[in-house]
Amino acid sequence: MCGIVGYIGSNDIKEFLIEGLKELEYRGYDSAGMAVITDEDMRVFKAVGKIRNLEEKIKDFSPSGEGVGIAHTRWATHGKPTELNAHPHLGEFSYVVHNGIIENYKELKKELEKAGHRFVSQTDTETVVHLFEHYLKELNDPFRAFDKSVSRLEGAYAILLITKAAPDTVFFAKNGSPLIIGKNEKEEIFFASSDAPLIGHASEVTYLEDKTRGYCKKEQISIFDESGKNIKPDFKPLTADKELAQKGGFRFFMEKEIYEQSRVISETIMGRVKSDGVELEELNREFLDGIESIKICACGTSYHAGLSGAYLIERLSRIPAHVEIASEFRYKDPVLSDKTLFVVISQSGETADTLEALKMAKRSGLKTLAICNVDNSSIVREADITLLTRAGIEKGVASTKAFATQMMVLWIFALYLAQKRGINPQTLSKEIDAILHIPKLLQVKAGLHEKIKRLSKRYLHGHGFFFIGRDIFYPLALEGALKLKEISYLHAEGYPAGEMKHGPIALADPELFTIALMPKNLLYEKIKSNVEELSARDSTILAISPEPFEIADDFIKIESHDHYMMEYFEMMLVVQLLALEIAIRLGNDVDMPRNLAKSVTVE
């Protein structure tokens, strides 16, 4: 999830672009760049790392007069964070910035290389500018060339393009990734991925619809739908609160990130899941040759993703998979074999225990794979291969969308392993069908959130919470308990439902809140009897299930699905929202809970 800004006008282009990027830094910052055209002179600047590195590079650049400019802050999804991969990407006389993922970039790139275009980066974005210049030669009309280029793209994109062929114009296109156009009384025109960069500049904004494209120049904004029909822009006054704008109107970043899960999961899936199977271009076929087992190592929420992933890997690929807590693994003098693939999971890529565990495995000669959200982080640099989760920056200390995308990558990875070993085609197609339903299923329904908000008032005290589940829902119970602990400071623990009778049931009484994860598609009768045992001892039960459960004191109904992983993701949403609403009622700082850090870079 990257950030893009653009400008048309005669004020300080550089100032707007660099300040705009800083407002978008929360969207990603492993590299950044800008391109400006004034009086036919086209300049470009790029830098790896934080925006301040780019600021340093442009300090002597002072464009003046009428001009157009585009800028970009990158969160890598294809290709390492290097200057070559940083946006804007150049053709011969045009620059482009892009947020999203172009799924068919490989075919386009091959076609363009055959036509003589030379590529310098590993990114999907670079195909856009070559496509544009290719069609410009053919059509000799910049907008028609841009429009034809956009029509060739599959996937998600928010694009800004400038070219010497039309030095007073910014071309734009939007599908799946956000893009806003702003304007003011000084006839300046602005573009941005979100409101924040426009505050204090634009007085009115229009939020572009999917599949729209067009061009802007001084005093002219032209928007078209994919059939070429002209669309009259619907401009509205712009909010004036930056903090609110960055949170997109949500109360906390954590809440915003829960709502982002639907979209970021689509990006995680993009280019990896096809109707006939999964592919992971990061993995070459030989990498897994000789692997007979998998060891997963992580901390906290990432450890819970690992536990869940192990169920999927064993069930789908029949490869043994074991999970370790990194801080334990480091000091247990483990027995390691080079026939074991060592997988580390980390949102930040900087967790000290996980990083050290990874180094231990490498020193023992194991092949290593990282599942990580931050490219170029220490763990990514250390691992042999990385699968990026593409969740975008996660600002809430309590992890939500990072966990969801870790789960999706693990599910795809489990299918990748199963495909290599020859998965039954019916099973594969059932799994793929379930995967493709997850983005929609993660769209938060207002009724569900409202129900959880109302229910949360009953769970603000008590002497503790048990989150219980069976099989893959046990790690989800652990995750639900951690979410609640982290931000409400109430005691909660996740427990295998079948284990309650081996001691913890002694705690059962009306003040003990049991949150029961009761999927219909996996061991329902078993979990049902476990919950009945607790209810018989007067524990207060909150059941989460597609099936009504009369003896529950509270009940949150999820949709009926025909695959347990669809139930898993929907229950994940419920436990995240439950923790959020309880913590908000308790008046806690949900985004920055006491005693916690977003990345634990110490032992």
| Catalytic annotation, residues | 2, 598
Residue among 347, 378, 514, 530 that touches ligand AGP (CB under 6 A): 347
CA angle 493, 333, 324 (to 5 degrees): 30
> Least distance in Å: CB of 576 to ligand AGP?
10
Cβ count near 594 (within 10 Å) = 9
> Least distance in Å: CB of 396 to ligand AGP?
8
- At 575, give phi and psi (nearest 5°): -70, -30
Strands in 267-384 per DSSP E: 273-274, 277-278, 293-298, 321-325, 340-346, 367-372
- C-beta of 262 vs 399, nearer to ligand AGP: 399
Cα separation of 451 and 474, whole Å? 24
DSSP 29-67: -SEEEEEEEETTEEEEEEEESSHHHHHHHTTT----SSE
Residue among 175, 212, 327, 354 that touches ligand AGP (CB under 6 A): 354
Select from 1-9, 343-351, 455-463, 565-573 the region that touches ligand AGP (CB under 6 A): 343-351
- C-beta of 427 vs 601, nearer to ligand AGP: 601
**Sign of the Cα pseudo-torsion (189, 191, 192, 195, in order):** positive
- C-beta of 399 vs 539, nearer to ligand AGP: 399
Select from 249-257, 282-290, 347-355, 526-534 the region that touches ligand AGP (CB under 6 A): 347-355
Q: Which residue is nearest to ligand AGP (CB)?
A: 300
> Least distance in Å: CB of 374 to ligand AGP?
8
> Least distance in Å: CB of 478 to ligand AGP?
11
- C-beta of 195 vs 353, nearer to ligand AGP: 353
Write the binding mask 357 to 396 for ligand AGP: x where contact by CB under 6 A, - elsewhere: ----------------------------------------
397 near ligand AGP, rule: CB under 6 A:
yes
Q: Any idea which residue has 């947020």 for tokens?
A: 99
> Least distance in Å: CB of 29 to ligand AGP?
17
- C-beta of 47 vs 487, nearer to ligand AGP: 487
- C-beta of 99 vs 377, nearer to ligand AGP: 377
Sheet holding 204-207, edge to edge: 41-48, 31-38, 67-74, 3-9, 189-192, 180-183, 204-207, 236-237
Strands in 202-249 per DSSP E: 204-207, 212-217, 220-224, 230-231, 236-237
Select from 94-102, 125-133, 345-353, 437-445 the region that touches ligand AGP (CB under 6 A): 345-353
Q: Please report, for residues 223, 370, 455, the alpha-carbon distance to residue 531 in angstroms, rounded to integers and kept in the order given.
A: 57, 37, 19
Write the binding mask 263 to 302 for ligand AGP: x where contact by CB under 6 A, - elsewhere: ------------------------------------xxxx
Select from 76-84, 143-151, 224-232, 340-348 the region that touches ligand AGP (CB under 6 A): 340-348
351 near ligand AGP, rule: CB under 6 A:
yes
- Per the CB < 8 A criterion, the answer to whether 382 and 358 are in contact is yes
> Least distance in Å: CB of 442 to ligand AGP?
18
Cα separation of 509 and 215, whole Å? 66
Select from 223-231, 334-342, 344-352, 423-431 the region that touches ligand AGP (CB under 6 A): 344-352
- Per the CB < 8 A criterion, the answer to whether 545 and 555 are in contact is yes
Task: Write a three-state SS string for 335-367.
Answer: CCCCCEEEEEEECCCCCHHHHHHHHHHHHCCCE
Select from 174-182, 397-405, 537-545, 576-584 the region that touches ligand AGP (CB under 6 A): 397-405
> Least distance in Å: CB of 302 to ligand AGP?
4
Length of the chain: 603
Binding to ligand AGP (CB under 6 A) within 475-514 occurs at 486
CA angle 48, 395, 258 (to 5 degrees): 125
What is the 8-class DSSP label of residue 489?
Answer: -
CA 591 centroid distance within chain: 17
Number of residues that bind ligand AGP (CB under 6 A): 15
Q: What single-letter amino acid sits at 255?
A: E
> Least distance in Å: CB of 361 to ligand AGP?
16
- C-beta of 429 vs 599, nearer to ligand AGP: 599
> Least distance in Å: CB of 326 to ligand AGP?
8
DSSP 144-190: HHHHHHHHT--EEEEEEEEETTSTT-EEEEEEBS--EEEE-TT--EE
Which residues are within 8 A (CB) of 278 and not within 5 positions of it... i.e. 6 or more apart? Answer: 272, 412, 415, 416, 419, 432
Q: Any idea which residue has 């005691």 for tokens?
A: 491
Select from 155-163, 169-177, 348-356, 462-470 the region that touches ligand AGP (CB under 6 A): 348-356
Residues that bind ligand AGP (CB under 6 A): 299-302, 346-348, 351, 354, 397-399, 486, 599-600
